[in-house]
Amino acid sequence: MADVAIAGGGIIGLSIAFELASRGASVRVYDSAEPARAASWAAAGMLAPLTERLADDAMQALCEASLRRYPAFASAIANAGGVDPYLSLDGILHTAYDDASLERLAARGAALEAAGHRATLLERAETLLAEPALGKHVRGALLVEGEGQIDNRRLGRALAAACRARGVRIHTGIEHLRIECDARRVLGVRSSAGYDPAGAIVNAAGAWAAQLEGVPQNCVPTVRPVKGQMLAIEIPKGFMRHTIWVPGGYLVPRRDGRLLVGATVEEAGYDARVTSGGIASLLRAALDAAPALSAFSVSETWAGLRPGTPDERPYVCATPLHGYYLAAGHYRNGILLAPETATLVAGMVEGAAAGPPSFTLERFSTKARSA
Ligand code: GLY
């Protein structure tokens, strides 16, 4: 297999590196910072294809396929690198604050059951039995089974360790990364670290994917940053058990005693500052759901940049430039989509296949749109 260069050491780039290296490829990863420190660090790690509102059936199928891969993916990484990324798939609770919302949840539950998933509608008393910290607004909830979360910061560390154990070279602090190519195919990558020849290059640069230098114009993806602010509250052990979807946000309890509260969705360019308005809206959502949180300390606030695309689907594809692949634009579902993206891209690099049509560059071409 060709030597592979991956631009971007986030969870998508590292997952592809791990998969390719496990198949015997020689892989280098290039990042301007430490691995998994951008959106991969900022995320909440929710694995929720049935909870997130996804763009369409193709995106739904991709996300569900990726969730099915997660248990094997997480244990392969833990075994290779020795860091457990704390996968937990014990369901996501959706709360309703009034009868109309509860009726919508009941209909959603019935639709999920009809599609072969498991979802249980809970009355208020049952909801409080599952999550005693929820407050007076909560009228009931839907427990969507099989979904959950992974500690994405641990996953980043686990993936970096697993990649290194497979011989992947991770270059950090890289500046001026550009691809070198001739009219037909990629030749290598040039950067502050020098020149490395490569038979295949994967762009996994997240919200910066459109800015990789040296790429022919017809291979540049349309990706923009979509800011998300988050905060963490220190909670006592057992205070909250499930990942909970509440009006105005979501609550994600970690094993280390932090409750993550997310997230805003803002078009703010590359401005990743935390704002008082953003944090106020998250705290309002959290305290409306569980007023007892007001006694606990806020230990961290942060913001990250999701890689958004015009149709909210990622690019997971080959391009007109032979040997150049895109794995970018995963928007709200980058952590979830890592295993499936890695499998698809590794298959493309190995077999030079184009990838599923819904995730190509060509879907935005005039011809594709008028078909
Ligand atoms: N997946 C949740 C978010 O992007 O906020």
Quote the ligand 1 centre to 200 CA distance (angstroms): 30
Instruction: Using most ligand atoms within 8 A of CB, pick from 59, 264, 306, 330 the residue to mutate for ligand 1.
Output: 306
Bridge partners of 266? 227
Quote the ligand 1 centre to 164 CA distance (angstroms): 28
The reply to whether CATH 3.30.9.10 applies to domain 87-144+225-308 is yes
Instruction: Using most ligand atoms within 8 A of CB, pick from 332, 335, 336, 337 the residue to mutate for ligand 1.
Output: 332
Residue nearest to atom 1 of ligand 1 (CA): 332
Report the Cα 272 to chain-centroid distance in Å: 17
* Nearest residue to 336 via CA among 103, 147, 132: 147
Quote the ligand 1 centre to 322 CA distance (angstroms): 33
Ligand 1 residue neighbourhood (C-beta within 6 Å): 44, 46, 228, 262-263, 306, 332
Closest ligand 1 atom number to CA of residue 48: 1
Closest ligand 1 atom number to CA of residue 332: 4
pLDDT of amino acid 352: 64
Quote the ligand 1 centre to 332 CA distance (angstroms): 4
Q: Are 35 and 9 in contact (CB under 8 A)?
A: yes
pLDDT of amino acid 133: 98
Rounded to the nearest 5 degrees, what angle is found at the Cα of 79, between the Cα atoms of 73 and 85? Answer: 60
How, if at all, do strands 46-47 and 224-234 pair? unpaired
Residue nearest to atom 2 of ligand 1 (CA): 332
pLDDT of amino acid 365: 81
pLDDT of amino acid 164: 98
Tens digits of residue pLDDT in 133-157: 999 999 999 999 999 999 999 999 9
The pLDDT of residue 45 is above 90: yes
Quote the ligand 1 centre to 119 CA distance (angstroms): 21
pLDDT of amino acid 1: 74
Strand order in the sheet with 87-88: 46-47, 148-150, 87-88
Tens digits of residue pLDDT in 311-367: 999 999 999 999 999 999 999 999 999 999 999 999 999 986 778 999 999 999 866
Quote the ligand 1 centre to 41 CA distance (angstroms): 12
The pLDDT of residue 223 is above 60: yes
CB under 8 Å to 125, separation ≥6 — which residues? none
The pLDDT of residue 25 is above 70: yes
Q: DSSP letter at 98? A: S
| Lookup: tokens for 290 | 């569980």
CB under 8 Å to 346, separation ≥6 — which residues? 16, 19, 20, 23
Quote the ligand 1 centre to 99 CA distance (angstroms): 26
Q: How do the domains of the chain map onto residue ranges?
A: 4-84+152-221+310-370, 87-144+225-308
Q: Other C-beta atoms within 10 Å of 203: how many?
A: 28
Residue nearest to atom 5 of ligand 1 (CA): 263
pLDDT of amino acid 217: 96
Q: Are 225 and 269 in contact (CB under 8 A)?
A: yes
301: enclosing H helix or E strand: strand 298-308
Report the Cα 310 to chain-centroid distance in Å: 17
108 pLDDT band, cuts 50/70/90, is very high
Dihedral of CA atoms 246, 232, 150, 290 in degrees, nearest 10, equals -30
The pLDDT of residue 371 is above 60: no
Residue nearest to atom 4 of ligand 1 (CA): 332
Closest ligand 1 atom number to CA of residue 46: 1
**CATH superfamily of domain region 4-84+152-221+310-370:** FAD/NAD(P)-binding domain (3.50.50.60)
Could you tell me if residue 246 is left (phi over 0), alpha (psi between -120 and 50 degrees) or otherwise beta?
beta
249: enclosing H helix or E strand: strand 249-253
Alpha-carbon gap, residue 176 to 189, rounded angstroms: 10
pLDDT of amino acid 109: 98
Q: Are 89 and 47 in contact (CB under 8 A)?
A: yes
185 pLDDT band, cuts 50/70/90, is very high
Quote the ligand 1 centre to 136 CA distance (angstroms): 26
Q: Are 349 and 4 in contact (CB under 8 A)?
A: yes
CB under 8 Å to 265, separation ≥6 — which residues? 226, 227, 228
369 pLDDT band, cuts 50/70/90, is low
Quote the ligand 1 centre to 264 CA distance (angstroms): 9
CB under 8 Å to 59, separation ≥6 — which residues? 312, 313, 358
